[in-house]
Structure 1
């Protein structure tokens, strides 16, 4: 069970692309006060928790509603996740700056920057793949800790920007992209193997 917790925590932390999210967060909140920036960080965290758990816990019912098999969704989710990873590695994943008066916490920061199409797919697959209640509880704790870790990074975003600089954030985003591409390949080939098997 501890292995499951660590596995879910690490996988979800990477899939939430924390350093790309951090870079986008700094860009979209550059004209706001520190207190307002922290309020936005908390709102983003809360929005991501709600979104992730809705997808994670009710994924099985979504599949049943649309008549989609888990393995077919794995193939689709793996493909989308891989394309997101390529964008991060190439440095094409970016956000446009909006006015400081607009509330950017839910859209675009929570959705689709933190919880994008690939992450949604991975959450649905992971939630539908867990069978027992203890597994779901442990995985839920791992998911919650991953989201809180990303939220913690956003709360201390100003200090991290001073330490890492934009170049450091760019490097970490590309490294995250490499890990995301590996997870995407695993999801895709698991789906393909089961689909053909």
Structure 2
């Protein structure tokens, strides 16, 4: 139960939900509520499919490329830290608001699912978690990841409500807090990688 809760919390912040909500609002501006819900459903489903593939084939990928898990921990941690710094420093930028409608007809997979929800840093972290977890723990990790995406889906469906409640400033503040948490997760990944590397010497 502890692993499920911790995995759920990790993945929830890993998906940077408040940044995703803001991008979703910008990309779907002017669309009907039904269209927005369809975009949200497809984006989260595509993210879940991509995440499951990464979770199951991470270990095999390391073996094929000859990369140790500790090396990938360090690399993924650095990418995640850069992503966290970007969130804290730049906040939410929504240049997509002015895009013509014909260019925004189907934004569910690109750019909403990839790279907004599943970006390079997220991919690295998912590969690491997938390689770390085995047996029942892997199933628990997948369940936690699925719950995190389900929470993100709820947030996307309620995005208009949150925009009215919090405003752009409120979403920016929550995004920066998410960045701080991601920075701590990145530090943990890097330190775990360094510790594993040093223990093998």
Q: Corresponding residue for 1:117?
A: 120
Task: Determine if the alignment matches structure 1 residue 73 to structure 2 residue 72.
Answer: yes
How many residue pairs get matched? Answer: 195
Task: Determine if the alignment matches structure 1 residue 157 to structure 2 residue 159.
Answer: yes
2 CA distance for matches of 1:172 and 1:45?
20
Task: Determine if the alignment matches structure 1 residue 11 to structure 2 residue 10.
Answer: yes
**What displacement does 1:85 show?**
0.2
Equivalent residues in 2 for 1:15-34, closer than 5 Å = 15-34=14-33
SS of equivalent residue, structure 1 residue 94: coil
**What displacement does 1:92 show?**
5.2
SS of equivalent residue, structure 1 residue 42: helix
Residue range with higher mean Cα deviation, 74-83 or 58-67:
58-67
Please list every run of 5 or more consecutive structure 1 residues that lacks an aligned counterpart in the other structure.
Answer: none
The alignment's TM-score, normalised by the length of structure 2, stands at 0.94
* Alignment check: 8 A CA contact 2:91 2:172 kept: no
**What displacement does 1:93 show?**
5.4
* Alignment check: 8 A CA contact 1:87 1:93 kept: no
Instruction: Sort the Cα spacing of 1:58 and 1:142 in 2 relative to 1 into closer, same or farther, 3 A.
Output: same
**1:19-51 deviations in Å (ceiling 9; x for gaps):** 000011111111211111111000111011101
The alignment's TM-score, normalised by the length of structure 1, stands at 0.95
* Alignment check: 8 A CA contact 1:71 1:192 kept: yes
CA RMSD of aligned residues (A): 1.1
**1:116-155 deviations in Å (ceiling 9; x for gaps):** 1111111000010012x21111111111100111111111
2 CA distance for matches of 1:33 and 1:100?
12
Please list every run of 5 or more consecutive structure 2 residues that lacks an aligned counterpart in the other structure.
Answer: none
The counterpart of 1:130, out of the listed 126, 130, 133, is 133
* Alignment check: 8 A CA contact 2:15 2:117 kept: yes
* Alignment check: 8 A CA contact 1:59 1:127 kept: yes
* Alignment check: 8 A CA contact 1:22 1:157 kept: yes
SS of equivalent residue, structure 2 residue 30: coil
Q: Corresponding residue for 2:185?
A: 183
2 CA distance for matches of 1:165 and 1:35?
22
